[in-house]
Amino acid sequence: MGKKSKKNRIGVVYSTNDDFDYSYEQETEVETLPPGQQKLYVSLDRKNRKGKEVTLVEGFVGTTSDLEALGKKLKSKCGSGGTAKDGEILVQGNHVRKVAEMLTEMGYGQVKTKGGF
């Protein structure tokens, strides 16, 4: 019996089976859709943020590097901070109209605002 690596035991605490396989399927990233085929939703969010407003862009389909690049463009044009993760882009502040206009100018097909903007 050789010593098995404990790094790959995500979620498994203990197994009495000596032949237990600790390997897991790796998640594959989805290819980025062209901007004309993306369906993005822009909204204003205040939940779980202590009353602070955040512009939320949802619905991006693609790799994390493309998501981060788009988030960086939007944040720099708005002149504010934020983050891009889990298929969402957060831009600090109320920039719903500005972000929706910028996404339309960049060629994103369907850009819809939620929340009466």
Sign for the pseudo-dihedral over CA of 70, 71, 72, 77: positive
CB 91 within 8 A of CB 57: yes
Q: Cα–Cα distance between 88 and 72 in angstroms, integer?
A: 12
Q: Where are the alpha helices (DSSP H) in 1-117?
A: 64-78, 96-105
Select from 79, 88, 102, 101 the least CA-distant residue to 56.
Answer: 88
Mean pLDDT of the chain: 86
Please report the domains of the chain, with CATH numbers, ordered by start residue: 35-113 (3.30.780.10)
pLDDT digits (tens, 9 = 90+) for 77-91: 999 999 999 889 999
pLDDT digits (tens, 9 = 90+) for 10-52: 666 677 778 877 666 666 767 888 889 999 999 999 988 888 9
Instruction: Write the single-letter amino acid at 109.
Output: G
Q: Give the residue with greater pLDDT, 54 vs 51.
A: 54
